Amino acid sequence: MDDVAETAKLTWRRYQDGDDSPPPWQEKIFTAGHSHKCPTYVHRTPPCQGSCPSGHDIRGWLAIARGIDKPPVDAMAWQEYAFLRMVEANPFPATMGRVCPAPCEDGCNRNEVEDFVGINAVEQFIGDWALEHGLSLPKPGPDTGKRIAIVGGGPAGLAAAYFLRLKGHACTIFEAYRELGGMMVFGIPGYRIPRDVLRGEIQRIVDMGVEVRTETRVGTDVSVAELEKDFDAIFWGIGATSGRALSVPGAEAPNCVDGMAFLRAFNEGRLGHLTGRVLVIGGGDTAMDVAAVARRIGHITSVHEKDRPENVILGQTVHDVAGAARRQGAQVWIVYRRPISKAPATKHELKSVIAEGVEIHESQAPVEVVRGEDGRATHLKVVPVDWVEGEMKPREDETFDIECDLIVAATGQFGDYRGFEEFDNGRGLMDADNVYQVAGKPGHFVGGDAIKPYLLVTAIGHGRIAAEGVHRHLSGAPPDRRPKVDVHHFNLLAELTRRDLQPQAFDHTPSCGTFAEEFAIHNYEDRGASQIIPQDDLFLGHFAYEARNKRRELHVSADEVLGNFEERTEGLTEEQAVAEGERCMSCGMCFECDNCLIYCPQDAVFRVAKDERALGRYVDTDYTRCIGCHICKDVCPAGYIQMGLGE
């Protein structure tokens, strides 16, 4: 980030030159420096958490990293406490800390100061620490006697099994392949997710008592009718494991394959090298993974028919890796019909493949696969296109051919519904309601790419919400109304209970006011389920520039990429993880900065007694002293103090 941009951001002020209009009267009612409004402490969801498809309590575990929220047990390390907070929403911190494109960081309010908090990096640090120290997931709840079939052992199915086990339900995963993991194993290369990390996090879920039946495909080895007979509910996490073929003439050529088949052949250890130029069609993350893998495995001059890549990808043979010494860097092109700046791929992955020697050919639309006498593709005919107001305008008279030996289409995915075709919505996906119950199929729930191919972390969020839907279904309760901000919310009552500070039981006798009573949480309001706090409500002037602690990244050049399958990022140190926690602005929650204490002219704000404190209960207000001047609200960096209660 350049100095000019940083300086511009750091000149933020609540009021700007030329502001001469009063704010809304209902918010600022003053008479000679006082008002009838007094401070109340309002919890709202931070934008990082609101942007996270799995609903992580990000602010919560960053508060643990920075030392504000201390473990309730003295012997517990802060990393363990943070891990337990993480897995309340997502049981894959070490995995997601590596591969999630981090929409949370895009939403981070710290972007308004200088640079986002390195949320992914802290998540990876804590996830790795948990694996290194052999931490287990929380124990399952009391046995309910209910059994749930989980169809598919990918991120959605594993997440659903985890959350259902927490509720005490028995789960059996039916997985068509030889191991669990789904797209995390068969779709993402090992240099992005080290297999020991992934298997360690999967095993923790299995160790909760989840039954696993691998190499068992529902629809072939076991019928839906059998599942409905033997189980109380079914969760479908079958993903979208089949890639869509190019929809142009000639695309049936044997060396025109889909991206999912390509990645599966590589991740299963069958694809060892390529031949000739490889064209990757598409601009998403799957296309980037295909291109990166193709550069790493390189190419050889084809000698035998069986060495042709399509024969391996289609499962007809396996490459002999002894030919590695003859390999050279493959010539890999990405062909994308839009400007590459509009590609949905993670910008980091796009930048990486370019650095690794992949050529980008943008604004070129495939027209036809040109085939030779043997039926194999020899060229891809493309047409340059212009985009005018979102509409593609082909330049028909400029069509040209690109020579190639392999075409990999990474333009979309769909599921395999053989044996249960009635679940297919006609697009190779399933339709579901807001609690992820399959449309027209009571007792059947679905999540992940089977609904819409997207992020791994989205599939995990689906699994969490669907598990709650399954639980209500099994208990005979109607589907729950999901909150507007559907994430794993901070709960002050739970925080107080964790520290044995919960309010006394209410005896339901009439009481005039609750200020002096012990059965109420005073001057606190929880709006987390309906509101995300914007940067406008923060006092950004409080925050000085602090450079982000970045993970050390292995930059692989085009000359070094061949055969390089090392993990590309090195995790943070503990010191760096704590420092990143300290950069969090704790949007919507007190982080004990003392500004309200320091600036209150009436000494009306005071600290809660040390033995009664918990996250969110650090300060209180003496209303007999408060004059409603709003200063505490104006200087609250986190926007936790709002004015109310007085009218």
pLDDT of residue 523: 84
Last residue of a domain, one of 360, 393, 413: 413
Name the 3-class secondary structure at 551.
coil
User: How far apart, in whole angstroms, are the C-alpha atoms of residue 273 and residue 323?
Assistant: 8
Can you spell out the DSSP letters for 200-257?
HHHHHHHTTT-EEE-S--BTTTB-HHHHHHH-SEEEE-----EEPPP-STTTTSTTEE
CB 491 within 8 A of CB 616: no
- Quick: pLDDT tens for 82-128: 999 999 999 999 999 999 999 999 999 999 999 999 999 999 999 99
Q: Which residues pair with 242 in a beta bridge?
A: 414
Q: Are residues 297 and 383 in the same domain?
A: yes
| Strands, sheet with 256-258, edge to edge from the N-terminal-most edge strand | 256-258, 406-409, 278-281, 332-335, 359-361
pLDDT of residue 645: 66
Angle at 427 between CA 425 and CA 431, to 5 degrees: 35
User: How far apart, in whole angstroms, are the C-alpha atoms of residue 455 and residue 100?
Assistant: 7
Nearest to 297 by CA among 176, 182, 156, 408: 408
Q: Are residues 387 and 292 in the same domain?
A: yes
Q: Are residues 538 and 399 in the same domain?
A: no
Q: Are residues 525 and 407 in the same domain?
A: no
Is residue 362, in this structure, part of any structural domain at all? yes
Last residue of a domain, one of 413, 428, 450: 413
- The secondary element (H helix, E strand) that includes residue 197 is helix 195-206
pLDDT of residue 23: 67
- Domain with 316 in it: what CATH number? 3.50.50.60
Q: Whole domain around residue 333: which residue ranges?
A: 243-413
Q: Which residues pair with 387 in a beta bridge?
A: 392
Q: Are residues 386 and 258 in the same domain?
A: yes
- pLDDT < 50 stretches in the chain: 1-5, 321-326
Q: Are residues 519 and 402 in the same domain?
A: no
Q: Are residues 619 and 502 in the same domain?
A: yes
User: How far apart, in whole angstroms, are the C-alpha atoms of residue 430 and residue 417?
Assistant: 10
Q: Are residues 394 and 502 in the same domain?
A: no
Number of domains comprising the chain: 2
pLDDT of residue 197: 96
Nearest to 487 by CA among 54, 92, 97: 54
> Which one-letter DSSP state was computed for residue 45?
B
Is residue 270, in this structure, part of any structural domain at all? yes
User: How far apart, in whole angstroms, are the C-alpha atoms of residue 380 and residue 406?
Assistant: 10
The pTM assigned to this predicted structure is: 0.89
Q: Are residues 372 and 251 in the same domain?
A: yes
For residue 397 the two structure tokens come to 């008279």
Is residue 495, in this structure, part of any structural domain at all? yes
User: How far apart, in whole angstroms, are the C-alpha atoms of residue 533 and residue 47?
Assistant: 7
Is residue 194, in this structure, part of any structural domain at all? no
- Quick: pLDDT tens for 623-644: 889 988 889 999 999 999 998 8
- Chain centroid to Cα 300, Å, comes to 38
Is residue 178, in this structure, part of any structural domain at all? no
Q: Which residue has the tokens 């925080």?
A: 495
Instruction: Return all residues near 364 (Cβ < 8 A) that are at least 6 apart.
Output: 335, 336, 337, 382, 383, 384, 385
User: How far apart, in whole angstroms, are the C-alpha atoms of residue 127 and residue 124?
Assistant: 5
User: How far apart, in whole angstroms, are the C-alpha atoms of residue 246 and residue 368?
Assistant: 9
Last residue of a domain, one of 345, 380, 413: 413
pLDDT of residue 348: 87
Q: Are residues 386 and 528 in the same domain?
A: no
Q: Which residues pair with 451 in a beta bridge?
A: none
Amino acid at 292: A
Is residue 549, in this structure, part of any structural domain at all? yes
Instruction: Return all residues near 508 (Cβ < 8 A) that are at least 6 apart.
Output: none
- The secondary element (H helix, E strand) that includes residue 38 is strand 38-43
Q: How far apart are the first and last CA of the chain?
A: 46
Q: Are residues 407 and 287 in the same domain?
A: yes
User: How far apart, in whole angstroms, are the C-alpha atoms of residue 516 and residue 507?
Assistant: 15
Q: Are residues 409 and 516 in the same domain?
A: no
Is residue 511, in this structure, part of any structural domain at all? yes
pLDDT of residue 2: 45
User: How far apart, in whole angstroms, are the C-alpha atoms of residue 380 and residue 405?
Assistant: 10
pLDDT of residue 11: 59
- The secondary element (H helix, E strand) that includes residue 406 is strand 406-409
The torsion angle over the Cα atoms of residues 293, 296, 302 and 307, rounded to 10 degrees, is: -50
Helices (H), 402-518: 456-474, 492-498
Is residue 170, in this structure, part of any structural domain at all? no
